[in-house]
Amino acid sequence: MKHPNLLIIADEIYEHINFTGEQVSIASFPGMFDRTITVNGFAKGYAMTGWRVGYIAAPKWIADGCNKVQGQITSANCSIAQRAALAAVTGDIAPTTKMVEEYRKRRDIVYNLLKEIPGVKANYPEGAFYFFPDVSSFYGKSDGTKTIKNGDDLCLFLLEKAHVSLVPGGAFGDEACVRLSYAASESDLREALKRLKETLATLK
């Protein structure tokens, strides 16, 4: 509010996948409605990953400008995806609610399993379907053949040795962490965490 020439771009793609029961848009705050560009889509809350359907909600003059730019650099997505998006946004929210409950259950399973791994500091996510644990305690350690210098090394090591894929945290702003998705079956998650625990234990 102190900087009236600034606009807000708010990514609300995870609005439905939160475990707090509350989603608050910055556009709802006094004075922010006409200064906020809300970006959203169907990939997360409606499980339409790969359908490439998204949208913005913005003051008309901004939306008109975006439309001009988009019309020159891309074409519309297919009509089938558009009809599916319409069905999602106008239909029953119950499937999304059920999906979120499943994610909540998997979050708790993964959180408890991460806590059992010495050296891993696990956060407790309030939404989405990722963990971002601090794994920096393994930096400088070795299994006898490879020394782990950073998150990139650790992720490659775990991919090669445990066959578990993680993403280095540097891409998300913290070199001490890795990103772990729990958008997988419970059995796969339990197996993955078992492998992580066993493989990380080889680093001394």
Average pLDDT for 115-138: 96
The 3-state secondary structure of 37-97 reads EEEEECCCCCCCCCCCCEEEECCHHHHHHHHHHHHHHCCCCCHHHHHHHHHHHHCCCHHHH
pLDDT range class, residue 86, cuts 50, 70, 90: very high
CA–CA separation, 163 and 50 (whole Å) = 24
User: Mean of the per-residue pLDDT values for the chain?
Assistant: 95
Average pLDDT for 49-73: 91
Residue 73: what pLDDT? 86
Annotation: CATH topology of 8-90: Aspartate Aminotransferase; domain 2 (3.40.640)
Residue 11: enclosing H or E segment and its boundaries?
Answer: strand 8-11
Assess whether pLDDT exceeds 80 at residue 164: yes
Residue 199: what pLDDT? 98
CATH number assigned to the domain with residue range 95-200, chosen from the 4 options 3.90.1150.10, 1.10.10.60, 1.10.287.470, 1.20.1630.10: 3.90.1150.10
Q: Look up the pTM and report it.
A: 0.83
Assess whether pLDDT exceeds 80 at residue 127: yes
CA–CA separation, 102 and 1 (whole Å) = 39
Residue 72: what pLDDT? 87
Assess whether pLDDT exceeds 90 at residue 105: yes
- For residue 33, the Cα-to-chain-centroid distance in whole angstroms is 26
Domain ranges of the chain: 8-90, 95-200
CA–CA separation, 186 and 110 (whole Å) = 9
Average pLDDT for 175-187: 97
Instruction: Give the other-Cβ count within 10 Å of 72's Cβ.
Output: 7
